[in-house]
Amino acid sequence: MPESAFARTLCSLTLCLPLLLPNLAAAQSAADRYPSKQVTVIIPFAAGGPTDNEGRIYTNKLAEIFGQPFVLDFKPGAGNRLGTQALIKAPPDGHTLMFTASTLSVIPLMYSDLGYDLYKVVAPVTLVSKRYAVLVGAASVPFNNMAEYITYARANPGKINMATAGAGGAQHLTGVWLNTITGTEATMIHYKGTGPILPDLIAGRVHVYFGTLLTVLPHFKTGKLRPIAQASLERNPALADIPTIAEGGYPGFEYSSWLGLLAPAGTPLAIRNKLATEINKIQKMPDIVARMGTDIQLIGNSPEAFERYYMGEYERWKKLVKDANIQFE
């Protein structure tokens, strides 16, 4: 850089610095005092579900640590939009948060009428955890592992029925992804939620399903269902002898079922970092590790890392939806 240009840049920085410092100091001061009152944590799903059960563990611990109540506020419905609308209307001071799930990465694709850019109106706090997942088959299917599944599916296009918890959801898109990379044509059978899927799968009315380990493991032990391949990036020790789909020649393949924490856009990074740090500490507590069990992979990363994660998922699903010409109901 020429000397004169360098001098001008240095001068500009010198002039701006006094303006920036008070803002930085104010943000840090707010983080030091945080939280100064009750924190409302929105859950955009019905009470009693996995987000509620896991989220409650963290909010109880955060209340103990900070000495302020962390109160759950359930706003289910409209594909997470009710909860999100409540979040983005709240002051960006960290006293309103929202637990979110893998649907965060598909909502902008499912709904063209949001009225806002989702990723500009929320601020990431942390990717709390992932749930280990398995591609599971009915006991009656004529394949026992991923290689056999692919061979059978290629020879019988359209004859394998794959259950999903709804069109456009993570299970649906993951199934389409699997079809795409393996050259298979499983037929998607969309249910209105996860409740009716397992009975139909056990009865053989549908053939395969991407399920969380917690929900399907008991049925492996009774022989009512069989694990075809693990759908997480890493093997779960409870199924140590079952390879992952990624290991089978499809690197990066993962059925994403996760829990994350969001704040309204504009919430100071210092506050979000403070929350992320405390959640990471909570995850190392022996009683918490024991309560989470073997089906949950604890993450607790930084706001920046969480944003990279869900934006990466969004870009992958966006391309898949376009290439596969997926139409949302």
Over residues 106-158, the pLDDT tens digits come to 889 888 888 899 999 999 999 999 999 999 999 999 999 999 999 999 999 99
Compute the average pLDDT of residues 68-78. 92
**CA–CA distances in Å: residue 206 to residues 154, 187, 239, 284:** 18, 10, 23, 40
- Residue whose C-alpha is closest to residue 253's, from 206, 201, 210: 210
1 pLDDT exceeds 50? no
Separation of alpha carbons 225 and 204, rounded Å? 10
29 pLDDT exceeds 50? yes
Separation of alpha carbons 306 and 300, rounded Å? 9
Please count the other Cβ atoms lying within 10 Å of the Cβ belonging to residue 226: 20
> Which of 28-42, 119-133, 155-169: highest mean pLDDT?
119-133
pTM of the shown model:
0.85
Return the pLDDT at 118: 95
CA-CA-CA-CA torsion sign (286, 291, 297, 298): negative
Tens of pLDDT along 173-208?
999 999 999 999 999 999 887 889 999 999 999 999
Please count the other Cβ atoms lying within 10 Å of the Cβ belonging to residue 16: 10
Dihedrals φ, ψ of 261, to 5°? -125, 130
